[in-house]
Amino acid sequence: MAEKDWIRRYFAPLAKAPGAAGLTDDTAELSKGYGPLIATVDAMVEGVHFFSDDPIETVARKLVRVNVSDILGSGARPGEALLTLGWPQAGRDPGQIRTFSDSLGTELDRWGILLAGGDTVITPGGLFLSLTLTGECLGPAPVRRGGGRPGDEVWVTGEIGAARRGYLWKTEGRDEARWLSALQAPDLPPLEAGNLIASHASAAMDVSDGLLGDLASLAAASGLAAQIELERVPFAGRATSLVEMLDLASWGDDYQLLFAASPQSSGFIENSGFKVTRVGRLTEGAGLSATVCGKPVNLPETLAFEHGRVGQPPVRS
Ligand SMILES: Nc1ncnc2c1ncn2[C@@H]1O[C@H](COP(=O)(O)OP(=O)(O)OP(=O)(O)O)[C@@H](O)[C@H]1O
Ligand SMILES: Cc1ncc(C[n+]2csc(CCOP(=O)(O)O)c2C)c(N)n1
Ligand SMILES: [Mg+2]
């Protein structure tokens, strides 16, 4: 079996988008709902975003989720997807493509996403994946990082740092095995989080690179300063020291949602039906400052994951 058979057998059955043309044409016609149409793309590379021995099922799940978080964080509902699959020419059984497509199909269904098309290639390197995902805004426009106002409260969904704990377990045998699942396929807030953000957030984004760095980005985009109260952050497990808090809050791979909202919305947000925690606020000024129980803390220079930065851990498999 090769490219054409993989597409026909494994991906065509998933291509439920009305404009997918059964994956037999050059282009897909994308659907547009009532709200503005948005798109995001996130790639995943073996040894950079996942380990070579991660189950192919979780690689498929993570690929979908890292994109869904961007759509929810814009106050939108996921729509249609385009998949790029770069399969290694050696070292990985092509029989895994079937398992990958089964898991991908289940995960796309879970979020109501319809596959519209994609591309399949062989690569001399490791497994490479990229998903492009559209979304339909639930409000009149996407919620941007830059809409925050002075006095807005800052909220985060779910927990922060579970994937970091999974990585420490995998690479150093530190922490507990139970966190590995969060590294392999992050837990996301539910679809309703997109509605909450559309209705109440002045600014929002997903937390992919690290809570502290991402909050600094949101504040900068809004032309404001941000203050974070670290003892309020819903860390996965118990963070017992400042060093641990800073580590969990600056590593990334969380895919939770970070947003700013007027204090008038706080009652509604607290009763959203899923986990959302107030962690800080936006003020006039610039930059990020942090406190623990009211005491200012010094923040490290590096607050987020960044590809290509000197000092980033080496690519590993
Ligand atoms: N190679 C590229 N070409 C065009 N636009 C890009 C490219 N890389 C990033 N961008 C754009 O830059 C902006 C920021 O991208 P970035 O990947 O940092 O977003 P993010 O959601 O925080 O990322 P990630 O989920 O990958 O951590 C987005 O608008 C994105 O579309
Ligand atoms: C094998 C392996 N090594 C390192 C990491 C850590 N990691 C990789 S990308 C990223 C941030 C988001 O990336 P992007 O900006 O591409 O969305 C993080 C925290 C991992 N998950 N697996
Ligand atoms: Mg993002």
ipTM of the complex: 0.93
Average pLDDT over residues 228-246: 96
Tell whether the model's pLDDT for residue 310 goes beyond 80. no
Helix residue ranges per DSSP H, the chain: 3-6, 56-72, 96-111, 162-172, 180-184, 192-200, 211-221, 242-248, 266-270
Measured distance CA(224)–CA(288) in Å, rounded: 9
Give the residue with greater pLDDT, 240 vs 75: 75
Tell whether the model's pLDDT for residue 314 goes beyond 70. no
Structure tokens at 313: 């851990």
Measured distance CA(148)–CA(280) in Å, rounded: 13
Q: Is 208 in the pocket of ligand 2 (CB under 6 A)?
A: yes
Tell whether the model's pLDDT for residue 313 goes beyond 80. no
For 145-166, how does the pLDDT look when each residue is reduced to its tens digit (9 = 90+)? 999 999 999 999 999 999 999 9
For 27-55, how does the pLDDT look when each residue is reduced to its tens digit (9 = 90+)? 999 999 899 999 999 999 999 999 999 99
Average pLDDT over residues 276-295: 98
Tell whether the model's pLDDT for residue 286 goes beyond 90. yes
Which pLDDT score is estimated for 238? 86
Q: Is 209 in the pocket of ligand 2 (CB under 6 A)?
A: yes
Specify whether the CB–CB gap between 249 and 161 falls below 8 A: yes
Average pLDDT over residues 287-291: 98
**180 CA to middle of ligand 3, Å?**
22
Averaged pLDDT of the chain: 96
Q: Is 252 in the pocket of ligand 2 (CB under 6 A)?
A: yes
For atom 9 of ligand 2, the residue with the nearest CA is 49
Which pLDDT score is estimated for 317? 55
Measured distance CA(93)–CA(95) in Å, rounded: 5
Q: Is 49 in the pocket of ligand 2 (CB under 6 A)?
A: yes
Q: How confident is the model at residue 309 (pLDDT cuts 50, 70, 90)?
A: confident
Domains in the chain and their CATH numbers?
A: 3-24+33-137 (3.30.1330.10), 145-297 (3.90.650.10)
| Percent residues over pLDDT 70 in the chain | 99
For 63-119, how does the pLDDT look when each residue is reduced to its tens digit (9 = 90+)? 999 999 999 999 999 999 999 999 999 999 999 999 999 999 999 999 999 999 999
Which pLDDT score is estimated for 316? 64
